[in-house]
């Protein structure tokens, strides 16, 4: 007996015919939301990413994974320096704007570090990185960054689950 609870599971092998279902299954995993920035010859550029993860404490390494099909792929896959910004719960609009326009920033939105990397000072945290490695990852690459500086503040994180933004509520 299942105690009155019914569980209907969909079981499938991922492939081209069910790519949407595979994406929906991945969407069941709640992630934080980040904006990655770097500097280009044409000015600052940004991309949203929920593929951010810590990799190592010693040395301090993080990773993220831009899609090869993205029009923003090349500047990020080749960036020597970049910053990953963890967004706060009240920054969903910024995330949506950056997703639509890689250069949506207005004067005063960004500062720059000594390497010219654009920084979003209002982010919950940011990790200023130097590229350590880039690995193939299917239709994405895995960019490993050595963290050179961190800035953080108190606040609630912006989360992404099932294609929607939300927040975090502690249990107990």
Question: How far is the C-alpha of 11 from the C-alpha of 145, rounded, in Å?
Answer: 36
pLDDT tens-digit readout, 108-157: 778 999 999 999 999 999 999 999 999 999 999 999 999 999 999 999 99
pTM: 0.88
pLDDT tens-digit readout, 77-120: 999 999 999 999 999 999 899 989 888 777 677 899 999 999 99
Q: Where are the chain's structural domains?
A: 31-153
Question: How far is the C-alpha of 160 from the C-alpha of 99, rounded, in Å?
Answer: 14
Q: Which CATH superfamily groups domain 31-153?
A: Electron Transport, Fmn-binding Protein; Chain A (2.30.110.10)
CA-based nearest residue to 114, from 94, 128, 95, 103: 128
């Amino acid at each position: 007996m299942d105690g009155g609870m019914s569980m209907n599971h969909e079981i499938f092998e991922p492939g081209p015919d069910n790519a949407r279902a595979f994406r929906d299954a991945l969407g069941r995993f709640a992630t934080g939301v980040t904006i990655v920035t770097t500097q280009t010859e044409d000015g600052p550029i940004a991309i949203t990413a929920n593929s951010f993860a810590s990799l190592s404490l010693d040395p301090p390494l993080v990773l993220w994974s831009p899609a090869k099909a993205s029009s923003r792929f090349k500047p990020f896959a080749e960036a020597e320096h970049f910053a990953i910004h963890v967004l706060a719960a009240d920054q969903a609009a910024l995330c949506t704007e950056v997703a639509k326009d890689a250069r949506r920033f207005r004067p005063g939105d960004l500062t720059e570090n000594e390497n010219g990397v654009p920084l979003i000072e209002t982010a919950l945290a940011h990790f200023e990185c130097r590229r350590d490695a880039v690995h193939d990852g299917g239709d994405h690459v895995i960019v490993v960054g050595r963290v050179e500086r961190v800035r953080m503040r108190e606040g609630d994180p912006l989360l992404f689950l099932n294609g929607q933004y939300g927040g975090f509520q502690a249990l107990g």
